[in-house]
Amino acid sequence: MIPLLSRDLKLTFRAGGGFGLGLAFFLIFATLVPFGIGPESGLLSRVAPGVLWLGALLACLLSLDRIFQLDFEDGSLDLLATAPIPMEAVVSVKALAHWLTTGLPLVLAAPVFGVMLNLPGPGYVWLVLSLMIGTPALSMIGAFGAALTVGLKRGGLLLSLLVLPLYVPTLIFGTEAARRGAEGMAVETPLLMLAGISLGSLALLPFAAAAAIRVNLR
């Protein structure tokens, strides 16, 4: 499993792997928001937690089809399926690799974009914390969506149609935690719910995703 993880990380970091594209998308998104809704700082600081969460979610979505598609096309997914580790583990490792290369950089960069959008002072800790807890769920749910559409020629748009409704609960609790944190209210409940969704996804979705991969490799 560790060789698989390091292989996936190397493939993403080296030339043509697309590392950093998600971050660049996040940057452009955060730049475009003030053009869309106006530069007024009061308005920006009110929408900042939600906008930053949305940006992270969309940046995550963009890189989802890379999780399995290339491996499916060059046949390495078939090799992984016959390897002596269960498909569930392959899926989990690939989701972890996706999170390390997309989710984690977004979490670390979020405070910078928070400054651009005039996020209120107490919000930074909670924004980072809620993203840290929530983005693993985004990666895992996304891996499930990618597993469903891996056999399709042009699955990209379908992938977003399938995955975005599944992102709703994560988004609701994530933005709620970040917003309450920014307004100085108690954040415990949404954070715990968010953690529940993340842990539940990590525990159960590998099975669903592995089942989908097996069907697609038949």
Partner 1 sequence: MSIWEYANPTKFMGWSGKALPWVAGLAAICTVVGLFWGFFLTPDDYRMGSTVKIIYIHVPSAMMAINIWGMMLLTSLIWLIRRHHVSALAARAAAPVGVVMTVIALVTGAIWGQPMWGTWWAWDPRLTSFLILFLFYLGYVALWAAIDNPDTAADLTSVLCLVGSVFALLSRYAVNFWNQGLHQGASLSLDKEENVSDVFWQPLVLSIAGFILLFIALVLLRTRTEIRARRLHALETRERMG
Does 126 bind partner 1 (CB under 8 A)? Our answer is no
Does 100 bind partner 1 (CB under 8 A)? Our answer is no
Q: Give the one residue of 5, 27, 54, 208 binding partner 1; rule: CB under 8 A.
A: 208
Considering CB under 8 A, how many residues would be counted as binding partner 1?
28
Q: Give the one residue of 155, 177, 178, 181 binding partner 1; rule: CB under 8 A.
A: 155
Does 158 bind partner 1 (CB under 8 A)? Our answer is yes
Cβ of residue 211: shortest distance to partner 1, in angstroms?
Answer: 6
Residues numbered 160-199 forming contacts with partner 1, rule: CB under 8 A: 161-162, 164-166, 168-169, 172-173, 176, 189-190, 193, 197
Cβ of residue 180: shortest distance to partner 1, in angstroms?
Answer: 11
**Three-class secondary structure assignment of the chain:** CHHHHHHHHHHHHCCCCCCCHHHHHHHHHHHHHHHHHCCCHHHHHHHHHHHHHHHHHHHHHHCHHHCCHHHHHCCHHHHHHHCCCCHHHHHHHHHHHHHHHHHHHHHHHHHHHHHHCCCCCCHHHHHHHHHHHHHHHHHHHHHHHHHHHCCCCCCHHHHHHHHHHHHHHHHHHHHHHHHHHHCCCCCHHHHHHHHHHHHHHHHHHHHHHHHHHHHHHC
Cβ of residue 46: shortest distance to partner 1, in angstroms?
Answer: 16
Cβ of residue 1: shortest distance to partner 1, in angstroms?
Answer: 24
Binding flags for partner 1, 127-146, as an x/- string (CB under 8 A): -----------------x--
Cβ of residue 92: shortest distance to partner 1, in angstroms?
Answer: 16
Q: Closest by alpha carbon to 5, among 92, 110, 73, 69?
A: 92
Does 148 bind partner 1 (CB under 8 A)? Our answer is yes
Cβ of residue 146: shortest distance to partner 1, in angstroms?
Answer: 12
Say how far apart CA 82 and CA 137 lie, in whole Å.
Answer: 27
Measured from the CB atom, the residue of 96 and 212 that comes closer to partner 1 is 212
Say how far apart CA 8 and CA 52 lie, in whole Å.
Answer: 27
Alpha carbon distance, N-terminus to C-terminus of the chain: 23
Positions touching partner 1 (CB under 8 A) are 144, 148-149, 151-152, 155, 158, 161-162, 164-166, 168-169, 172-173, 176, 189-190, 193, 197, 205, 208, 211-212, 215-216, 218
